[in-house]
Amino acid sequence: MLRNIAIIAHVDHGKTTLLDGMLKQGGVFRENQEVAERVMDRMDQERERGITIISKHTALTYKGHKINVVDTPGHADFGGEVERVLLVVDGVLLLVDAVDGPMPQTRFVLEKALSAGLRAIVVINKMDRPEARPDWVVNETFDLFAELGASDEQLDFPVVYATALDGRSSLREDYEDAVDLQPLFDTILTAVPEPKVLADKDAPTQAMISTIDGDTYLGRLGIGKLFAGTLKPNQNVTVFRRDGSRYNARLQSVFVYEGMKRIPVEEAYAGDIIAVTGLPEITIGETVATGDDPQQIPPPNVDEPTLKMTFAVNTSPLAGREGQFSTSRKLRERLFKELETNVSLKVEESETPDSFVVYGRGELHLAVLIETMRREGYELQVSMPEAITRVGENGEKLEPFERVFISLQDEYAGGIVQALGERRGVLMNMQQSDRGDTRLEIVIPTRGLLGFRSRFLTLTRGTGIMSALLEGYLPWAGPLPHRSQGSLIANESGMTTNFGLANAEERGELFIGPGTEVYEGMIVGRHQREGDLVMSVCKAKQLTNMRSSNADISVRLTPHTEMSLDRCMEYIGPDELMEVTPKNVRMRKRELNFKLRKRSEKGE
């Protein structure tokens, strides 16, 4: 007996933590085995950011039943991972926080699951919190199901109350009988149907590839669901590409999942999640088939990107010092290789041979790609994110809009509404929650959100929560206000000094400290007024014999603002670039020379 399920939820509602508990109680680990928290998060960035970025497969056994489980991302920027994974499962565990209830990303992932015809088990997580309100959460979740057009069968969802961190669950709202996750496992067996297969085991094989992985010894692996027939090692197959073209190939090995491992098998059967090797060109959305008349499974539809950035070869004076890969050929190879596994991404070659236009689902989607590349040793420069526009049926210009959900203290609501209103945002709903905070719902152009998150944290003193979902393409909202503050720009190359930075500090906020190597045109801080200010941050104090030792007390500087890659992406403007190397992230002007910048501004 077999069950295929995916765990879906809003960011930080406990998907990966729940899976940890399921694996421990599913007999995957020995009783005395030490297991790291969030064991399924293998990427460094997943552990650092505290989110799931790529989907992962695992399997466990309960009462003689094999349960294949897929951990999915909760952030809408990685929706491509969710969309394709839902093709290979037959049910979902929808995790909802016992205090917060359904959040914006809950709507996103649930809508995808319901449209795929999947039944959901609602897991009210974090029941150990003193302020837990499960009855209210269940009602809100039911309303969300109804709003998203769930069928009568989907509306009749079972509810499990759990604390993923402790590995306990219950079918009772009072939660008094919660001991382990047995109630959750039993609910999975009764509520999730057996895998949907297209035919019996003697029928021609059809398998859909939903994930790509790699192995040092095995090479490229295609992971997906076997919908019909069987698959064996060394079997001749036909591979259908997404565009409908096909080619013949020969499998090497076939694997199924047991716990955290892939186990080679002599034959895999319809309904199971499998991994195959021997297909070096295999990619996501392709069909592996056999028979005299092989048939293709329709590839998944993935939402279109909404943002674009230009990735180019680094041209700064410090280029080539810190990166292992810095040529246009290496940059091109890496970006087009990313397309094999990142279905939400698009890459186009630009008019110049050393730059490429990269399209993504959101700022976080592109930031994760840039951070991954720099950790791999790549050196590049990128432009500010831009919203992708379209032309409507009537020839009008369309742009993407986001529906923004904000939860914050009442005293900050006015400032946030005003700030987003200046960016063409329209307040759609405003209400007080029973917890005393204010919830805002605002529709705003995607352009209006670019660079706003850091200001949002400032305006709410770090206490606000903001999430956004794509609303759709609507008529162009018009020009947006320019950045209210300019940048502090270095006017020479060299090492920064306390004396030079002290003068700059009087004019704004510093991004770098003393002893940092800079070059002409590099951004070293934020100007306190509109417009850029060019300054010398490398000059030293002139010493003379007339000066006493007491007068030469060292200059004290205010600690500078650390600019992470994400914050730099938000900060840079249309005439600025972000220089990314394995060791540093710098910001600079497109045109480094001050006189040439002024000339171009005048249109000469």
Binding-site residue ranges for GTP: 12-17
Strands 168-170 and 273-276: unpaired
Specify the residue for token string 């293709």. Answer: 296
Half-sphere exposure of 185 (CA within 13 A, CB side): 25
* 259, two tokens: 């716990």
Beta strand segments in 549-603, E:
576-580, 585-589
> Tokens at residue 443, please?
């529709």
154 close to 120: Cβ distance less than 8 angstroms: yes
Q: Which segments are annotated as binding site?
A: 12-17
Which tokens in the block code for residue 445?
A: 């152009």
Look at residues 174, 541, 580, 567 and name the one whose alpha carbon lies nearest to residue 382: 580
CA 495 to chain centre: 36
Sole residue written with tokens 């096909």? 246
Nearest-angstrom CA–CA distance, 12 and 103: 11
Least Cα distance to 13 among 475, 467, 460, 433 occurs for 467
Strand arrangement of the beta sheet that strand 159-163 belongs to: 56-62, 65-71, 2-9, 91-97, 119-125, 159-163, 168-170
Which token pair is 243? Answer: 């565009």
Q: CB atoms < 10 A from the CB of 166, how many?
A: 15
Instruction: Report the relative pairing of strands 533-535 and 487-490 from DSSP bridges.
Output: parallel
Name the one residue in this structure whose structure tokens are 């149907």.
193
Print burial letters for 336-350: b (CB count within 10 Å at least 16), e (below 16): eeeeebbbbbebeee
Closest by Cα among 73, 56, 43, 81 to 371: 43
